[in-house]
Chains A and B, each alone.
Chain A
Amino acid sequence: MFCEIDFMTSLTIISDERYLQHDTGGGDHPEIPARLQAVYQALDNSAFSAKFSYAAPRIAEREWLLQAHTEDWLFRFEEAVLSGRTFIDHNDNQVGYDSYDIACLSAGAGLAGIDLLEADKANNVFCLVRPPGHHAEKSIPFGFCFLNNCVVAARYWQQKYKRKRVLVFDFDAHHGNGIQSAFEEEKEGFYLSIHEHPSFSYPGTGYADEHGLGDGKGTILNLPLPPGGDDNQVQRLFEEIIPSQLEEWQPDAIIIGAGFDAHVADDMSGLHYSTELYQDIGREIKSWGQRFTGGKILSILEGGYELSVLGDSVEAYVRGLLKP
């Protein structure tokens, strides 16, 4: 029986089988296709699966990639994969022959999602993509990231739909240095990140005293947690620090860098989040949407590497986003 989905209470998942083809070379590389498969499986089994609808990403158009990256880097990236290189700049950044195209498709998921949100054909979009993006700088790949999916989406939202006061909230265990670099010198675009303290964690950036530079003063809020940082500490930030910042910023669009590697079982960070915390994070973000953006939220998958908990963590987050 055909069931019409009520977009206002559903989750639109944007993903594509081609994301599985970004080849990071096997071995001990943590950013592998099985991550997405674990997420797909957990969402298939979710009690909320009736509330999911699915949409396709598109390849991000070059004009939007260039809002976040230099032409030099786009050429260098494409050329590196086509010439058969297995990594770029650092062997963390493993690539295969198709990685450039797939990264463009990863960056394009957000654009497709924003179009759906703006056309009222979706209210809550989750882009399940790889490669991730938040470490990618304007012209340098870092930490498994090549194109900065969140920044490309933010630029698209700001320029095509004139939603200037974009908030990017990043709850990945690692600081999104590439997002901060993009926003820190301009007055539009607010980057809020909860991550493990940079003295103990990759990429060694995201100190609490960095609030933005020049015109961008006040547009960066880094909330580092010490190793062992747990649910209670995150809850405290949600209760005591973040609300007043959001009230002051008054976002007109919300992008979430959704990373799940702060889970206690994920050895890519020293943070100790429970699976259930991700439901609370989802619920909190939902309330921000209701408060500021008519419920509209765009989430983009970043990290999360422990396959035994990644799927359930994502499912918990989705539950939080959807629960009435």
Chain B
Amino acid sequence: MYISKHMTSDPITVSSSMLLPEARALLNEYHFRHLPVVDREGKLVGMLTDRDLRSAYPSSVISDSERRLIYERVEKTAVSEIMSTECVFLNTDSTLDDALLLFDRDQMGALPVLDNDLVVGIFSIRDLTTAYKSAFGVGEKGAVMIGIYDDHSPAIMSRLVTLLEEQGVPFTRVLRVQDTKNGDSIYLRVNTFKIAAVLNLLEDNGFSVKRFT
């Protein structure tokens, strides 16, 4: 569950002396929103986002003359003047959970990934959702999530798994969720079309199945 397996390696980076029009052209060309800013050795010195650029460029509601003036200034402005320098970053040995907590805390869209201070990758919130999507099997063809109520009866987990294995019901994920508000649950991603048969099997063996209707 390391982010290095899910990040974009060797991302496009810019130098702090690059002028804003060039940086903007890069973001537009490649359709991304975050550019790590690096020094000559490739060490991270800042991050430039499309939001930083949008704030630097003139608003669409101001007069033409004002806009021209701002444009002239923007064209001579270097990335270093608008980039953020207090950067949150990940390391190659950061985990998906590390990234989730940082995204959740800082509401960032993407984070640079460093290896000994050098920028070696960029990891976006989209990379995170893709990684978790595959970890949880969301959208995986031929499978469906079913739920049972967790009554914490003795050996409930092993009884559950053994029953399914013995009856030849393929499943790929088992998730035990503590939920003081809605009740504790166990979710299983089972890979079969014959869901009704699985639910009946579970009920016949004393499990309390979540019927969603």
A residues near B, CB below 8 A?
A: 28-30, 90-92, 135, 137, 142-144, 174, 177, 198-205, 207, 226-228, 267-268, 270, 272
Q: Which residues of B contact A90 (CB under 8 A)?
A: 142, 170, 191-192
Which B residues from 164 to 213 make CB contacts under 8 A with A? 168, 170, 191-197, 211-213
User: How many whole Å from A234's CB to the nearest CB in chain B?
Assistant: 15
Does B143 belong to the interface (CB within 8 Å)?
yes
14 contacts between A and B (CB under 8 A): A90-B142, A90-B192, A92-B194, A198-B139, A201-B195, A202-B142, A202-B143, A202-B195, A203-B143, A227-B212, A228-B213, A267-B196, A268-B196, A272-B213
Q: How many residue pairs, one in A and one in B, have C-beta atoms under 8 Å apart?
A: 68
Q: How large is the interface on B (under 10, 10 to 19, 20 to 34, 35 or more residues)?
A: 20 to 34
Interface of A is mostly: loop
Asked if B144 is at the interface of the complex by the 8 Å CB criterion, the answer is yes
Nearest CB of chain A from residue B134's CB, rounded to whole Å: 13
Q: A199-B145, A200-B212, A228-B213 are in contact. List 5 more A-B contacts (CB 8 A).
A: A91-B168, A202-B142, A204-B138, A205-B141, A270-B212
Task: Kindly state whether residue B140 has any CB partner on chain A within 8 Å.
Answer: yes
Chain A CB within 10 Å — which of B193, B211, B212 has the most?
B193
Closest chain B residue to A31, Cβ basis: B193
The prevalent SS among residues of B at the interface is loop
* Cross-chain contact B170 with A270 (CB below 8 angstroms): no
Contact A137–B141 (Cβ < 8 Å)? yes
A92 closest partner in B (C-beta): B193
Given contacts A227-B213, A270-B212, contact A142 B194 (CB under 8 A): no
**Minimum CB–CB distance for A282 against chain B, Å:** 25
Contacts of B143 in A (CB 8 A): 202-204
Cross-chain contact B144 with A204 (CB below 8 angstroms): yes
Q: How many Å from the CB of B16 to the closest CB on chain A?
A: 37
User: Which residue of the partner chain A has the closest CB to B168?
Assistant: A91
Point out the residue from A91, A137, A174, A270 that lies within 8 Å of B213, measured CB to CB: A270
Q: Are B142 and A203 in contact (CB under 8 A)?
A: yes
A240: shortest Cβ distance to chain B, in Å? Answer: 23
B26 to chain A, nearest CB (A): 24
Specify which of A177, A200, A226 lies most central, judged by the most chain B CB atoms within 10 Å of its CB: A200
Find the B residue at minimum CB distance from A272: B213
Of chain A, the residue at the smallest CB distance from B147 is A200
Q: Is the CB of A202 within 8 A of B139?
A: no
The chain A residue sitting closest to B201, CB to CB, is: A28
- The CA of A200 and the CA of B210, in the complex, are separated in Å by 11
- Asked whether B193 lies within 8 Å of A143 as measured between CB atoms, the reply is yes
Asked if A30 and B194 make an inter-chain contact with CB atoms under 8 angstroms apart, the answer reads yes
* Cα–Cα distance between A207 and B141 once the two chains are bound (Å): 12
Nearest-neighbour CB distance to chain A for B25, whole angstroms, equals: 24
**CB-defined contacts of B213 to chain A, threshold 8 Å:** 227-228, 270, 272
Write the nearest CB–CB distance from B103 to chain A, whole angstroms: 20
Taking a contact as CB atoms under 8 Å apart, the answer to whether A177 and B141 are in contact is yes
Shortest C-beta distance, B118 to chain A (Å), equals 35
From the candidates A28, A142, A270, name the one contacting B142 in the complex (CB within 8 A): A142
User: What's the Cα separation between A293 and B19 when bound, in Å?
Assistant: 58
A200: chain B residues at CB < 8 Å are: 144-145, 212
